[in-house]
Every structure is written in C-alpha cells, then in structure tokens.
Amino acid sequence: MKRTFAIIAALAAVLVAPVIIHAAGTATETKTAATGVYSVDTIYSLNIAWTAGDDSTYSLATTSTIRGQILSAVTIPDTSDTGDRMLDNYDITITGPDGDDLFGGTLANRDSVSTERALPKIGSDLNANLFINGPVTVTIDSLGLAGARGTIKLYYRAR
C-alpha cells in the first residue's frame, strides 16, 4: 500500500510540475519540422506563443526537450489588437538545461513592433556551435504591461 501511494505521488509530481512552472504568464508550445530546408539534418522550430502575467513578466520552462544545435531565435511581438502592447526594448533570456544563457544577451532590447532574429552567443563567439540536450527556460522582463503577448521561434538542428 505504501509503495502504491509512493508511485502515485511520484506520478502526480511529474504531471503537476509543468503546471507549477507556468506560474508567470501562459504559453502554447508547438514543435514542427521547418519546410524548404536543404539539409541532411532535420531543422525544427520550437514555437512559444506567450502571454505575460499580472506582473508584466513571463517565465516558462518548456515541456519539449531539445536535442541538437541551437541555430537562431526569432521574436515576434503581438500588436494585433491595441497597437504597442509592451514597452520597447523588452528583454528575453533563454537558458539551457545547465542554466547558461544560450544567446549571451543578444535577445536583450527587443523591439515592441518589429520581428527580430538573434544568433546564439558564447562569450564573444557569435553564432556559436551550441549543443543542448534538455528543456529550455524562457524569461521575459521589462514588458511594462500585463497581458502583453508575442511569439518566440527557436530554431535548432536535431542530432
């Protein structure tokens, strides 16, 4: 009986943990193979459509595991209903499973109306050969407004 309870408790912890991680804001996460790519390897796009929480920040540990080389990130602010829904120069940090900033600060100062792309960076090495195996954590600060929305597309080559 104790063993059964321990197994049920462990399963509940695994199933509930992703819900607890989503505390600041909400997200929809999808992973698709990129089309029109001429490569032997498969290029994937992990798309995160996010909405800021009441404190105008956002934090999410993805449920998808990335196994491969990080290629780039595209940030797309949502301005569809009321114009600028966030302050200009908001900041995004994407950390790997080891807690390191995969983009080395290149996702800081994002534009509030324009789509922008960033390359991974380690130290002074821009477009670094950065391989990860695990989930990533996305943190967004300086949005200035609860309910601000956008999408991040994280492109990677599967290995």
Domains and CATH numbers, the chain: 23-158 (2.60.120.380)
* The two three-digit tokens of residue 129, written as one number: 């050969």
User: In this structure, what token pair is assigned to residue 25?
Assistant: 């804001």
Are 46 and 60 spatial neighbours (Cβ–Cβ below 8 Å)? no
**What is the pLDDT, as a whole number, of residue 51?**
86
Q: What is the dihedral of CA 121, 124, 127, 129, to 10 degrees?
A: -80
pLDDT value, residue 29: 65
Report H helices in the chain.
2-21
What is the structure's pLDDT at 158? 86
Whole-number pLDDT of residue 26: 63
pLDDT beneath 70: ranges in the chain: 1-27, 29, 31-41, 81-85
